[in-house]
Structure 1
Amino acid sequence: MKTIITLALLITTFIMKAQVTSEGTTITVMVPIQSSKGSVLIGLYDSQENFLKKPQQTVEGIIKNGKATATFTNVLEGTYGITLFHDKNSNKQMDFEPNGMPKEPYGVSNNVMSFGPPQWETAKFEVGKKALELEIRM
Structure 2
Amino acid sequence: MRSLLAISLLFLSIFSAKAQENKGVTVSVVLENVLSEQGEILAALHTSETFMKGMGIDGYETQAKKGQLVFSFTGIQPGVYAISIMQDLNSNQRMDFEENGMPKEPYAMTGTMSMGPPSFQDASFEVGTEDLEIRIRF
TM value normalised by structure 1 = 0.76
Tell me, what secondary structure is at the counterpart of 1:27? strand
> Partners in 1 of 2:115 and 2:76 — Cα distance?
30
> Partners in 1 of 2:44 and 2:74 — Cα distance?
12
Greater Cα shift, 91-100 or 73-82: 91-100
- Please report how far the alpha carbon of residue 122 of structure 1 lies from its aligned counterpart in structure 2 after TM superposition: 1.1
1:1-138 to structure 2, matched below 5 A, reads 23-32=23-32, 33-47=34-48, 49-54=49-54, 55-64=56-65, 66-110=67-111, 112-138=112-138
> Partners in 1 of 2:21 and 2:99 — Cα distance?
42
Tell me how many residue pairs correspond in the alignment. Answer: 118
Does the 8 Å contact 2:43/2:60 carry over to 1?
yes
> Partners in 1 of 2:102 and 2:78 — Cα distance?
34
**Where do 5+ consecutive residues of structure 2 fail to align?**
1-18
Greater Cα shift, 33-42 or 119-128: 33-42
| Aligned residue type for 1:51 | F
> Partners in 2 of 1:125 and 1:114 — Cα distance?
16
**Where do 5+ consecutive residues of structure 1 fail to align?**
1-18
> Partners in 2 of 1:30 and 1:24 — Cα distance?
20
Q: Deviations over 1:38-64 (max 9, x none)?
A: 2211111122x3211131111124434
| Aligned residue type for 1:123 | A
TM value normalised by structure 2 = 0.76
Compared CA separation, residues 56 and 73, structure 1 to 2 (3 A): same
Moved over 4 A (4+): 19-22
> Partners in 1 of 2:23 and 2:70 — Cα distance?
23
Compared CA separation, residues 46 and 69, structure 1 to 2 (3 A): same
- Report the aligned-residue RMSD: 2.1
Radius of gyration: which is bigger? 2
Tell me, what secondary structure is at the counterpart of 1:136? strand
| Aligned residue type for 2:128 | G
Does the 8 Å contact 1:39/1:68 carry over to 2?
no
- Please report how far the alpha carbon of residue 22 of structure 1 lies from its aligned counterpart in structure 2 after TM superposition: 6.1
- Please report how far the alpha carbon of residue 127 of structure 1 lies from its aligned counterpart in structure 2 after TM superposition: 0.4
| Aligned residue type for 1:116 | G
Task: Give % identity.
Answer: 42
> Partners in 2 of 1:24 and 1:69 — Cα distance?
19
